[in-house]
Structure formats: structure tokens, C-alpha cells
Structure 1
Amino acid sequence: MSEIDHVNTNHYNYFPSWFIHSCIYTVSSKGGLTIFKLSRKHIKELRQHLKQSIRQSKQADHLTEDEENLIQSIRSRTQKSNQNNVTRTQAYLDFYLKHQEIHWALLAHLVSRNAGWNMTDLKGEYLPKLLSEKEQKDFFAFLERGNWLIFQDAFPQLLLYEESKKQGRPLFHLLSSMDISAFMEPFWKQFWSQSTKQELTISLIINEQHYIEERVVQNKQFKDTVLDTIMFKLQDVFAFNHILLPYISPVQKNTQFVGGTVHHFSSVEDRITLGKGLYDLLFSEQSRFAQTVDWARSTTHTGSRKDFWPQLFNDVKETAPGHVHELHNSPCSFQPKAPRIYSPSLTTVWQDYTHKKSETGDWFKDKKMLQFVKKPVKVLKGDIQDTYCKRIEELEMAAFTKNRFLNK
């Protein structure tokens, strides 16, 4: 497993000199990820590195034949793995298991699992009773587009790093030729020379959320059909945006989870804050981290919530046709004789989606974006399991009420 690198006086070689002599740091009280407080001097120097990256990205590219072939190969491999949520989620995990120094790949794998579960919820036990067929398709298109876009931007970066390892030299000058934001090149170069795992992870979190901001969240089609609709606001009330990080508890001998929630999905700052918090939560406790990796390796992602709670969910519908599933106890009680909640596998309810080409343009144009780098990690409590069970009860009640009083 990758170990967390804590900054102290014995680890000065871990960061470049321009970072160390200008950085004030504190360590998480949980003994987890280091929470940085960056000085003005460091921000100024980082800004200079990023400005240089922007200038270089605007210069004409002169690629060798080998470089052009490499870029084409990376794009082909990315497209093959970007078929649907199941394939891209597995690709993240496969990459992480080969390159465990890239923390973001594991975080992306787990977040992508959650995206798949949200996609299948739209065809599961409750939401079809609350959403029209069109609303289900619109919501799926919204979730799938974001999941697809992040993969097609981030996975080429991972593959370029993999090729750099094979060749024993950094190839990050090719990022701009792959339409990757100028924001990322300094962080990859720094990671290559200094192994700054945490800064690379946080920069990838910032990049992915800004990458989908204009392309998905502020996209007029999705704003009209999803984000600005009453039903999306209802999902926010039901805390639809839970992110669950499962692990196998050695005490309970079953799957438990920690996680967090973003209540304002339309806020890029809130999404970044959650991403950084989830990163800290995932890597902060080494025993639980190991249990999470073990769970991910041993549990194939299907998109069904049966993946993490087979006692509560099933990919075969057990409720009688025309009836609404009723909870007689808290979902977390796992009543043994009650029908399980229907949660289908993704490929049985959604066909592969044909995406139009991604919009062009680099989101990184303003040095003010550095505010997202310098902000410290907001530590999450992680105690989301009871909250998630209450959300299931709310969905059951909403579906039951609509079925009883509005469908007569």
C-alpha cells in the first residue's frame, strides 16, 4: 500500500526547495494527510510556474513521429476504457493497483462507483415512482456526461505518467498536445522530481471539477433539464449527492462505510472542498484504508448497490409488481426476512451512451484559481452511514406517498 508522507523536519527532501522554505504547515489531528497553509511567497512562486506553463501551452507544438504515435495510442486506450461507468471505474482501479503512488486513481475509482450507483438508482426501487421516464433519461445523461468527461481528461494524464515510468523520463511536455489544462503540467513535473503525492492529488481534484464546470454544470441543456428542475432540488433534499467509501469492518465482519455529502452540486468550490475532504478521509486512517482497498479489489463494480450491501439490496426485483417496497425497520437493521430493495446492475438498465466530442478550451485562465490550491483541507467527520439509511427511508416514504395518493 502507498503510505502517507507526513511533512516534518526529516522529510525536507520530499518537496522542492521553493516549496519548503516558504510553506507553513500543520498536521491533521487524526494523524492523516498534512493540511497545508501556504505563505504568500509560495503562492507567488507557484503562480510564476503556472504562468510559464500557460505561455508554453500556447506555443506551436512540434511533435516527433514517436510522440504523435504515443498520443494516438493513449487516446485509443482511453476511448476503449471509457465505454461506460463500469469500464472506466475498473480502469481507475487497475491503474491504481499498478501505480499506488497515484492516490487520485483510487479516489476516482471510489467516486466513480458512486456515480454508477446513482445511475442505477434512476431505474431502481424508488426513483422511477418519483421521476418521469424523460427525467430519468435526462438525469442519467447528466451523470454519464460528467463521468465520461472526467475520465477522458484525467485518464490520458495517468497513461502519460505510466509511459514516463517505462521510458525513465518525464513526458509531461506532451500534456498540452493532449488538450490537458496548462494548470496540470507544473504539478506533474513537481511530482516526478519530488514525489509530491498530496499536491498532485489536490491539483487533479481541482482540475476535474473545473473541467466539468462549463461543460456540464453550467451547460444550458443540463441546467434546463436537470439542475434547475424541481426534481433535482428534491434529490438535494434527499442528500442524493452522498459519496460512500466502503470498507470491510473486522469487527462487524461486513461492509461499513464512511463518506461525505455535497449539498450544492452547482458550486465548484463545494465540490472541490468535498473532494479534498474525501481524499483526507480515505487516506487518513491506515487500517481502514487497507480495508477499503481490500474491499475494492474483491468486489467487482456492477453499478448495483448490492455490491456493498447484499443484505439490503438485490439486483433482482423482490417486491410484487405494482407495489411499493415498504421498510418495516431502519434499513441499517438488515431485517432478514423482508424483501430487499431493488438495485439493478448498470448494464442491464442503461445502454452505452454515445457522447458528442468534448468542448474545447482551457478552464485555467485566471491566476485567482490558485485560491483552490492554498485553501486547507476541510476534515470530514465521515459518519455518513446513519444519514444514508435515513435517506433511504425518506425515498421510501416519498415513493409510497406518491403511489398511494397521486396515482389513484
Structure 2
Amino acid sequence: MCDLKSPQLITLLEEETRDHMFLAYERANWLIFRDAYPQLLLYHFSKLENRPLFRSLDRWGVSQFMIEEWEHFWVEKDGDRLLKALIINEQNVIQEPILKHPLYKKKVFRSLLFWMEECLHFSTVLFPTINGNLYGSSVTSFRNVDARIDFGKRLAHILFHTDLFPHFLLFARKVEHTGSRKDYERFMKKPFYSQTPMLRWAFPIVEHHIHTWRDWSQEAVIKDEWFMDSEPGKSVHLTEWFVQKQIQLQWASLMKKI
């Protein structure tokens, strides 16, 4: 999101376009956090009291699907299934209010810019390390809930990989998160600064409200394939790829100025 305030994207994109993209991702992040926080809080208190308290989640607008999955986890201790359920839930939580919202659908997700982002694989999540290596994966067909669920499972596979997780955890503990790419670019062998500002320098605090809420799981069909494993497949080491993409972005910005 802070890339939207970088010199390159300020040059390439109109302010209105950048504002719409920011609001779409900001709203999606808020909806996911609003949904996930009470779940983890109730799990914490369930452990303290040694009994499941998940029926109370409906007071915070958490789906019936997730209530049942937490109760299943409490009995079966199936962490892999719970992880997939959380991914399934969060992507369905944002489907109607974000991906199908008339404004975001027209101005963001059906725009030529977004189509080009997907084709050029700029829609990528990266996991940094303090040794300068970057790992991650890209998503295409972002508007499709099945594709985003598959993407979430692939990211989880990378994040919790036995060889990689200790490096990601060390970075999270050692490096203060500011929202700027400089947080991890400074550790690269050839430091590469893409000039993304810190979050609080780039955007104000945004207040959100829920006007209407619908339980997605009461209207959707829960697909068996959503619980199947998804592995990254291609190489997940993206350090060199990242450098090339940033160079492409800088060249595009320069050509636009010319």
C-alpha cells in the first residue's frame, strides 16, 4: 500500500486511481482483522478456562462456518484444517464487500491497471529475511475467491516451511515494521531502495464502520477443494525477481516522465 505513495507510482498513476486502490486494500485488511481478532481472543480465553467459548463469536459477526471450525479444532486439534479454514473464511469475508463492491469492482479490480498488474506478476506477497533473501508467491485471477484461497494456502506452505520459518520469525522479531520496503531492502546484498515511505507518513488513520453484515457461509457452498493442499510449485526464492521488477517499475516511471 505504501508503494502507492512512492515516486514511481505517483508518476505512473493518477491520484484518484491510487486513492481507490488504497481504500480497497485498506478496507479489506480492516475487515479481515475485525473478523480474526475476536476469534483469537476467544481461543485465548477458551484455553484459560479450559472449555470452548466459540459460540460467543456470533456476537462479533463471525461466520457460522468459523464457529464450527473452531469447535472442531478444540476437539480434534487439527491445526492444518484450522489454518485452511481461516484462509477460506477471510477470503469469503472480503468477497462481497470488497471484490463485488460496485465502486471497487469498476475503479480497481476491472481496471486496465489491475489487469496489467496480474499479467506482469506485480501482485506478489513477499516474506523477507535479515540475510537479504526474499521468498513468496504471486496471484492471478485475484477477483476469484477460489484463486485467492489457493494463493493463501501456497503462502502458508512457504511461511511455515521447516527450513524457512525460523528466518521469517527472526526478521519479525528483530526488525521494526514501518510499512516501507526499506525495512527489508537494506538487508539485500546490493541494497535496493524503492523509495516507499513509512505507513504513517503516507496515510492517515482511517476509521471504518459496518453498516450491514451477512454471514457468507449461510449463502455459499463450502467446496471440498478449499480444504485440499496447495503447494507453491515454482521457485519461491524471489530475491532476483524482486530486483528486476523494481527496475522495470523505475524504467516505466522514467518513460512516463519522458
TM tier, smaller: over 0.9
Q: Secondary structure at the match of 2:133?
A: strand
1:341 aligns with 2:194: yes
C-alpha contact 1:149 1:358 (8 A) present in aligned 2: no
C-alpha contact 2:127 2:134 (8 A) present in aligned 1: yes
C-alpha contact 2:179 2:197 (8 A) present in aligned 1: yes
Q: Which residue of 2 aligns with 1:92?
A: none
Q: Which residue of 1 aligns with 2:20?
A: 138
Q: Supply the distance in 2 between the matched residues of 1:384 and 1:311 (Cα, whole angstroms).
A: 14
What is the CA distance between 1:333 and its match in structure 2? Answer: 4.2
Provide the aligned C-alpha RMSD in A: 1.9
What is the CA distance between 1:208 and its match in structure 2? Answer: 0.2
Q: Secondary structure at the match of 1:397?
A: helix
C-alpha contact 1:238 1:394 (8 A) present in aligned 2: no
1:306 aligns with 2:188: no
AA partner of residue 391 (structure 1): K
Q: Give structure 2 stretches of 5+ with no counterpart.
A: none
Q: Which residue of 1 aligns with 2:256?
A: 402
Q: Which residue of 1 aligns with 2:217?
A: 364
Q: Which residue of 1 aligns with 2:113?
A: 231
Q: Which runs of 4+ in 1 moved over 6 A?
A: none
Q: Supply the distance in 2 between the matched residues of 1:358 and 1:244 (Cα, whole angstroms).
A: 33
Q: How does 1:8-407 map to 2 (within 5 A)?
A: 119-248=1-130, 254-284=131-161, 286-310=162-186, 333-334=190-191, 340-357=193-210, 359-365=212-218, 368-380=221-233, 381-404=235-258
AA partner of residue 161 (structure 1): Y
C-alpha contact 2:32 2:90 (8 A) present in aligned 1: yes
What is the CA distance between 1:241 and its match in structure 2? Answer: 1.3
Q: Supply the distance in 2 between the matched residues of 1:364 and 1:301 (Cα, whole angstroms).
A: 34
What do residues 140-164 of structure 1 show as CA deviations (whole Å, max 9, x unaligned)? 1011010000000111111111111
C-alpha contact 1:210 1:363 (8 A) present in aligned 2: yes
Higher relative contact order (CA 8 A, sep 6+): 2
Q: Supply the distance in 1 between the matched residues of 2:239 and 2:94 (Cα, whole angstroms).
A: 28
What is the CA distance between 1:126 and its match in structure 2? Answer: 0.8
Q: Supply the distance in 1 between the matched residues of 2:92 and 2:201 (Cα, whole angstroms).
A: 32
What is the CA distance between 1:231 and its match in structure 2? Answer: 2.1
AA partner of residue 307 (structure 1): D
AA partner of residue 206 (structure 2): Y
State the percentage of identical aligned residues.
Answer: 32
C-alpha contact 2:2 2:202 (8 A) present in aligned 1: yes
C-alpha contact 2:146 2:226 (8 A) present in aligned 1: no
What is the CA distance between 1:366 and its match in structure 2? Answer: 5.2
Q: Supply the distance in 2 between the matched residues of 1:126 and 1:136 (Cα, whole angstroms).
A: 12
TM-score (normalizing by structure 2): 0.93
Q: Supply the distance in 1 between the matched residues of 2:44 and 2:176 (Cα, whole angstroms).
A: 24
Q: Secondary structure at the match of 1:184?
A: helix
Q: Secondary structure at the match of 2:134?
A: strand
